[in-house]
Amino acid sequence: KLNRVRSAVAHLVSSGGAPPSRPKSPDLPNATSAPPAAPPQAPRSPPARAGSGGAAPARTVEARASFSRPTFLQLSPGGLRRADDHAGRAVQSPPDTGRRLPWSTGYAEVINAGKSRHNEDQACCEVVYVEGRRSVSGAPREPSRGQGLCFYYWGLFDGHAGGGAAEMASRLLHRHIREQLKDLVEILQDPLPPPLCLPSTPGAPGSSDSSQLVGPQSCWSSQKEVTHESLVVGAIENAFQLMDEQMARERRGHQVEGGCCALVVVYLLGKVYVANAGDSRAIIVRNGEIIPMSREFTPETERQRLQLLGFLKPELLGGEFTHLEFPRRVQPKELGQRMLYRDQNMTGWAYKKIELEDLRFPLVCGEGKKARVMATIGVTRGLGDHNLRVCSSTLPIKPFLSCFPEVRVYDLTQYEHCPDDVLVLGTDGLWDVTSDCEVAATVDRVLSAYEPNDPSRYTALAQALVLGARGTPRDRGWRLPNNKLGSGDDISVFVIPLGGPGSYS
């Protein structure tokens, strides 16, 4: 998403320094398949931490090679080389032998056609056990209160400007989520509404009688009811932020490269939480019907948020950019003429007289896949990018990016799902060339060719989706059956069965 406009725009922004050098990580494919994932039943516990402060839950990141594929692919060194081959673009899936992914989840991926050195997508699929947090004093809770919680977790991470952020997020984001849920283990299992206030006294029970704490001077006639569901949403939101902060802390020592979009699914206590920060997408296909479970965050969809920020904090524009949008670049000779523009409060367009400030480069420009913030980046939410600066300038872009996901909730218990009902997650490599309807058609076509209880059908579906977006090499390019160009991007797909044989267990 970074590359295309960068060179074209280099001479357009004012200052003339060299572009920031981005250190390349050594290419050590053999090093990456070594450390196996900890078994999900007994993940390594991070050091206990008190309160809800910002301490990192996971161990300090060791310096790692930036080229790795998800461990559940169980790639041999030779397989890893094939997965890294831009010419062949072999579709990768977990082996049909051995342990399946939870819920018989299907997965497939393919590397890009040369856009970046390695596959910058990453993926993670885990069952995560959440132990209730020990009290602040360190004394364990009574056993009766100590029942933990399990959640199922799927994550797709689409990296840009390097593979480091996506790789780090795929290893650690679910641990941040676990850490945020630790405080909630008892509360979520209690049918009563969550307590509004928790005492700080060591060892005291979490569900204190907070109602007594309401003084007579409260101006609200009633307290706001907070649901269990909204606590899980808040936990996921804060986990994204803590993951992003960890990347900021560790980038100096360990070179967290670039940034990544993150699309994450958490299944907990009967509900599916889909959290999206970036331009990946999730849809549910249920009885042939499409239910969107995310929306994309791009310079176009977030234009008004970005413009408002530039308007309220003009120092973030560094005198190089204007928060106004124009339908094309304004030329100096047009000074005094009237041109179409959009302000942060507008969805329509109007004419304004061109002034000197309007000759600055627009904060948001371009359309569709070419839309950019500060002429540089095509996604506006995600993790990392702490080093990202405007080309040939020192202006940081991170202040305009948000690490917060939008979380949508789907209650699995409200509908009796059949084995053909699936949740499909894909990075933009899939969706750039495949519509929701085409995905639904492929779901129908592939799944109906397999027995409902055949657990390999979801992997076959994921492969079909990746193949359908990649195409086949023809006429010096990857082409789809309709002769249009296939996606030259990295493509990664999860197919999560909602009523399959192994679901919810």
Residues in region 402-431 near its own copies by CB under 8 A: 402, 404, 406-407
Q: Which residues pair with 129 in a beta bridge?
A: 150
Minimum gap (Å) between residue 435 Cβ and its own copies: 22
Q: 298-317: which residues touch its own copies (CB under 8 A)?
A: 308-309, 312-313
Name the residue nearer to its own copies (CB basis): 149 or 466.
Answer: 149
Nearest to 296 by CA among 494, 439, 158, 483: 158
How many residues of this chain interact with its own copies, rule: CB under 8 A? 76
Nearest to 136 by CA among 57, 48, 231, 238: 48
Is position 346 an interface residue for its own copies (rule: CB under 8 A)? yes
Q: Which stretch binds its own copies (CB under 8 A): 25-33, 105-113, 335-343, 494-502?
A: 335-343
Nearest to 410 by CA among 422, 401, 400, 420: 422
Q: Which stretch binds its own copies (CB under 8 A): 32-40, 261-269, 350-358, 495-503?
A: 350-358
Is position 12 an interface residue for its own copies (rule: CB under 8 A)? yes
CB 117 within 8 A of CB 166: no
The residue from 1, 2, 5, 462 that contacts its own copies (CB under 8 A) is 5
Q: 62-91: which residues touch its own copies (CB under 8 A)?
A: none
The residue from 55, 65, 198, 248 that contacts its own copies (CB under 8 A) is 198
Q: 217-256: which residues touch its own copies (CB under 8 A)?
A: 217-226, 229-238, 241
Q: Which residues pair with 402 in a beta bridge?
A: 381
Q: What is the rounded end-to-end Cα distance, in angstroms, of the chain?
A: 38
Nearest to 460 by CA among 502, 434, 497: 497
Minimum gap (Å) between residue 495 Cβ and its own copies: 27
Nearest to 213 by CA among 198, 194, 231, 230: 198
Q: Which residues pair with 100 in a beta bridge?
A: none
Is position 339 an interface residue for its own copies (rule: CB under 8 A)? yes
What does the alpha-carbon distance between residue 216 and residue 260 come to, in Å, rounded to a whole number? 49
Q: Which stretch binds its own copies (CB under 8 A): 34-42, 61-69, 364-372, 481-489?
A: 364-372
Tokens representing 446 are 């592939």
The residue from 40, 79, 199, 396 that contacts its own copies (CB under 8 A) is 199
Q: Which residues pair with 125 in a beta bridge?
A: 154
Q: Which stretch binds its own copies (CB under 8 A): 2-10, 100-108, 160-168, 244-252?
A: 2-10
What does the alpha-carbon distance between residue 442 and residue 444 come to, in Å, rounded to a whole number? 5
The residue from 3, 30, 331, 483 that contacts its own copies (CB under 8 A) is 331
Is position 345 an interface residue for its own copies (rule: CB under 8 A)? yes
The residue from 209, 327, 472, 483 that contacts its own copies (CB under 8 A) is 327
Minimum gap (Å) between residue 407 Cβ and its own copies: 7
What does the alpha-carbon distance between residue 383 and residue 247 come to, in Å, rounded to a whole number? 8
Name the residue nearer to its own copies (CB basis): 187 or 466.
Answer: 187
Report CA 243 to chain centroid distance, whole Å.
11
DSSP string, 425-478: EE-HHHHTT--HHHHHHHHHHHHTTS-TT-TTHHHHHHHHHHHHHH-EE-SSSE
Is position 261 an interface residue for its own copies (rule: CB under 8 A)? no
Q: 273-292: which residues touch its own copies (CB under 8 A)?
A: none
Q: 34-63: which residues touch its own copies (CB under 8 A)?
A: 51-53
Alpha helix stretches (DSSP H) within 208-336: 228-254, 303-312
Name the residue nearer to its own copies (CB basis): 147 or 230.
Answer: 230
